[in-house]
Amino acid sequence: MSERPYVIDEMISAKTIAARIEELCVSIRDEFHDTDQLVVVGLLRGSFVFIADLVRELDLPVEVDFLEASSYGNSMESSREVRILKDLRGRVEGRDVLIVEDIVDTGHTLKHVTGLLGSRNPGRLRTIALLDKPSRRETDVTADWIGFSIPDEFVVGYGIDFAQRNRNLPYIGKVRFAD
């Protein structure tokens, strides 16, 4: 946990997030309208709030599974080394899969996970990220759907943490260190 005091400035309100999820779900339903069961894969831990709201809004038959990947630990900077801490419980071969990511920053995690799940021969493999920081990208990866593009700020809330704190905020906020 950080010893430096910080404050959180709201960037994206809970109401704005909810409205954007409704919009995204229209496109997702169009893409997967013919699926018999969509496997929605949440990348833990940051995506758990987003995935819950997303699947409630989707009017499709869904199965939810989780994969835990880490490249941050308790740091504000990516280590660029992606480790799989928890793999899927179910199989995805021949099935439609939607990977749900909280934030695409350097892109290393999303690239690693899409490569991993792509090697398991899904029917269709698509990605969605609540937040995207294109200015930080170090890999050639882009989510199929993006909730919000944001500047290079360290953010928390709506499932996203800083040293395991602030996940429970209903909005996305920018961390600002007090001096």
- By annotation, the residues acting in catalysis are 105
- Residue 69's Cβ-count burial label (10 Å; 0-12, 13-18, 19+) is buried
Q: Which amino acid is at 10?
A: E
How far from 167 is each of 20, 69, 70, 171, CA to CA, in Å?
Answer: 19, 17, 16, 9
Measured CA to CA, the distance from residue 113 to residue 5 in angstroms comes to 34
